[in-house]
């Protein structure tokens, strides 16, 4: 990539953006379209970010994609036509880093093994780290310490999932994000076909395996050594193969962007999204896509830039604006790098800054960030709440090339902000090192209204600040209705865990009653002003004022 060339900036459309799942309001997207047609919503929204249960998916509330066909249980072509008739442009996701284990590509790999055309569509962990680590006792390569310490982890332990090909060979694949492995009931009968296995030994093995699975949740090759030795030395491989037939797993498998098949898949997918009426594409988890031994597995340079440039070229074929989604510390400066390359960015700093400003009664950090956006010409999409919690890590400083670059807030202020949200019922999500030790907060899961202590005046003020911020304001449907923490949903958890605290489905009766509440109508008035007033096409000016005021 030519770093000296001045990249042409992509331009975001103007207006206010609604953000919801297809079934966040009522039962399906048709109910949300009906909501947007109501007189109370007239002229409120010009854009709609529809989260990826729009597609066929199985985990992480849509972010584990099976395929990019429309999920017909929730979405119909008629819904998309009606949104277009309302003048509402659509934003959709392309989940760059991974696909579901139930995707056609991964299913083909499981069925055909080495003969599958998708053999290299996903990242074979052992092949990737060959010559950069040593084989461990559980049949996967452990990267050398110099590489291991650079890995950025989203969960405890190594990011791997082991599968068996039809020839019974074991293969380890890269799995940065979610996985779940479960076993059907294992009985002595499962081992009856193994040569030299009598009923007593089969019962013994079945019992010990069930205990290991109960205690560890998984079964490794090393676990089997003692078991088979104590039961007549029967074939370990045959026992493992029998157990694997009883195994089911879910997961988000990392794509191998070195494979041209993956790039053909991206091209096909962007075409599909364009045909659905999308104009803006959020690149989910893009920073994890480029992987190379010796570099961190997060926002490698220049590889990440090369990938983005290639994706942008594909997107332009279909008249799409792409923007990368990334969580990183303010001090790292990654948001500036992305903006300088002509991409819009998500303003993940804004939610925490607003809470901090309202709690401390000072505009200092918020004004600093507004000045950054304005002076550096950044295009942003901002939000208060979202499907993904309230970011915390993003506000921090960072050591870069031996020099500490300060964050937007001091660590003590960040901790105080986190604690205030937790005291009001928020739940935390953390980051881990390769040994499974917590290294930092990642985000706090709460509704924005609950994070503000369920104070309606604070919510009004937060929304007003957002509507006058530079950038495209994105409005989480539940914030609009002053939604409170849903603890029952968080406990049920599904695959999204704590995030469900802020994803309550609003029934149509909730919409009817909500649209009579002043807090909802007042927000809609602010949103309508931002969406329609010609003033927001002009130049923004921030007037110097007292610390407790914002002009």
Q: Which residue has the higher pLDDT, 186 or 44?
A: 44
- 405 part of a folded domain: yes
- 231 part of a folded domain: no
- 111 part of a folded domain: no
Q: How confident is the model at residue 37 (pLDDT cuts 50, 70, 90)?
A: very high
> Cβ atoms within 10 A of the Cβ of 214, count?
9
Q: How confident is the model at residue 208 (pLDDT cuts 50, 70, 90)?
A: confident
325 is catalytic: yes
Contacts of 230 (CB under 8 A, 6+ apart): 204
Q: Which residue has the higher pLDDT, 121 or 9?
A: 121
Residue 437 has pLDDT above 70, yes or no: no
Lowest mean pLDDT among 233-242, 271-280, 463-472: 233-242
Q: What is the mean pLDDT of residues 379-397?
A: 92
- The packing angle between helices 350-360 and 456-468, to 10°, is 130
pLDDT at 119: 96
Three-state DSSP class for residue 47:
strand
> Per the residue annotation, which of 23, 60, 93, 325 is the catalytic one?
325
pLDDT at 432: 59
Rounded to whole angstroms, the Cα distance separating 141 from 137 reads: 9
- 146 part of a folded domain: no
Pairing assessment for the beta strands 98-100 and 247-254 based on DSSP bridges: antiparallel
435 is catalytic: no
Residue with tokens 């090393």: 222
Three-state DSSP class for residue 451:
helix
Residue 1 has pLDDT above 60, yes or no: no
Lowest mean pLDDT among 329-333, 421-425, 462-466, 543-547: 543-547
Residue 318 has pLDDT above 80, yes or no: yes
Q: Which residue has the higher pLDDT, 254 or 197?
A: 254
Give me the residues paired with residue 262 across strands.
none
Q: Which residue has the higher pLDDT, 215 or 439?
A: 215
> Per the residue annotation, which of 79, 284, 329, 347 is the catalytic one?
284
Q: Which residue has the higher pLDDT, 294 or 69?
A: 69
Rounded to whole angstroms, the Cα distance separating 191 from 36 reads: 59
Residue 279 has pLDDT above 50, yes or no: yes
Mean pLDDT taken over the chain: 90
Rounded to whole angstroms, the Cα distance separating 180 from 189 reads: 25
- 280 part of a folded domain: yes
pLDDT at 65: 97
Q: What is the mean pLDDT of residues 102-123?
A: 97
Q: How confident is the model at residue 222 (pLDDT cuts 50, 70, 90)?
A: low
Q: Which residue has the higher pLDDT, 9 or 186?
A: 186
Lowest mean pLDDT among 41-45, 79-83, 181-185: 181-185
Q: What is the mean pLDDT of residues 460-485?
A: 97
- 227 part of a folded domain: no
Task: Indicate the pTM of the whole model.
Answer: 0.89
Domain range for 328: 17-97+255-537
- Residue 313 sits in a domain whose CATH number is 3.20.20.80
- 194 part of a folded domain: no
> Cβ atoms within 10 A of the Cβ of 420, count?
17
Residue 451 has pLDDT above 90, yes or no: yes
Q: What is the mean pLDDT of residues 333-339?
A: 95
pLDDT at 470: 94
Lowest mean pLDDT among 163-172, 213-222, 354-363, 365-374: 213-222
Pairing assessment for the beta strands 141-143 and 278-284 based on DSSP bridges: unpaired
- 188 part of a folded domain: no
Q: What is the mean pLDDT of residues 359-376?
A: 94
How many domains would you assign to the chain?
A: 1
Handedness of CA 36, 40, 43, 44 (dihedral sign): negative
pLDDT at 181: 77
> Cβ atoms within 10 A of the Cβ of 465, count?
22
């Amino acid at each position: 990539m030519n770093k000296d060339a001045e990249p042409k900036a992509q331009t975001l459309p103007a207006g206010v953006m609604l953000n919801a799942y297809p079934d966040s309001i009522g039962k399906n997207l048709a109910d949300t379209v009906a909501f947007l047609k109501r007189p109370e919503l007239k002229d409120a929204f010009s854009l709609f970010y529809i989260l990826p249960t729009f597609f066929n998916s199985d985990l992480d509330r849509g972010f584990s994609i099976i395929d990019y066909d429309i999920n017909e249980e929730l979405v119909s072509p008629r819904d998309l036509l009606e949104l277009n008739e309302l003048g509402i442009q659509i934003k959709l996701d392309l989940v760059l880093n991974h696909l579901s284990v139930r995707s056609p590509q991964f299913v083909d790999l499981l069925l055909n093994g080495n003969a599958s055309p998708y053999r290299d569509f996903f990242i074979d962990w052992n092949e990737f780290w060959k010559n950069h680590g040593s084989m461990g006792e559980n049949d996967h390569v452990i990267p050398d310490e110099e590489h291991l310490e650079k890995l950025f982890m989203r969960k405890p332990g190594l990011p791997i999932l082991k599968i068996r090909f039809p020839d019974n060979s074991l293969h380890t694949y890269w799995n940065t994000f979610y996985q779940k492995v479960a076993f059907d009931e294992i009985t002595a009968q499962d081992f009856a076909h193994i040569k030299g296995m009598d009923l007593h030994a089969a019962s013994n093995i079945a019992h010990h395996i069930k205990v290991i699975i109960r205690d560890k949740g998984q079964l490794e090759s090393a676990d089997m050594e003692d078991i088979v030795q104590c039961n007549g030395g029967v074939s370990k491989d045959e026992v493992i193969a029998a157990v694997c037939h009883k195994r089911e797993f879910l997961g988000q498998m990392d794509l191998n962007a070195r494979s041209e098949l993956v790039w053909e898949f991206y091209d096909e997918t962007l075409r599909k999204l364009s045909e659905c009426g999308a104009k803006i594409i959020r690149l989910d988890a893009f920073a994890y896509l480029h992987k190379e031994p010796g570099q961190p597995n997060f926002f490698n340079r220049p590889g990440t830039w090369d990938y983005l440039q290639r994706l942008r070229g594909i997107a332009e074929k279909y008249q799409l604006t792409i923007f990368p989604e990334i969580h990183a510390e303010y001090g790292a400066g990654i948001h500036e790098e992305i903006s300088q390359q002509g991409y819009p960015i998500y303003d993940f700093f804004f939610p925490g800054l607003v809470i901090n400003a309202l709690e401390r009664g000072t505009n200092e950090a918020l004004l600093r960030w507004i000045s950054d956006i304005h002076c550096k010409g950044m295009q942003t999409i901002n939000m208060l709440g979202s499907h993904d919690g309230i970011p915390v890590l993003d506000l921090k400083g960072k050591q870069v090339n031996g020099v500490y670059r300060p964050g937007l807030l001091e660590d003590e202020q960040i901790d105080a902000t986190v604690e205030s949200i937790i005291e009001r019922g928020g739940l935390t999500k953390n980051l881990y090192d390769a040994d499974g030790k917590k290294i930092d907060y990642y985000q706090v899961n709460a509704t924005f209204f609950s994070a503000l202590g369920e104070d309606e005046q604070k919510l009004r003020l937060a929304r007003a600040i957002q509507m006058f911020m530079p950038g495209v304001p994105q409005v989480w449907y539940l914030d609009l209705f002053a939604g409170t923490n849903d603890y029952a949903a968080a406990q049920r958890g599904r695959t999204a865990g704590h995030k469900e605290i802020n994803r309550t489905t609003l029934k149509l009766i909730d919409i009817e009653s909500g649209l009579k509440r002043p807090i909802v109508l007042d927000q809609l008035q602010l949103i309508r002003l931002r969406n329609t007033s010609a003033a927001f096409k002009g130049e923004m000016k921030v007037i110097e004022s007292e610390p407790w005021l914002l002009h």
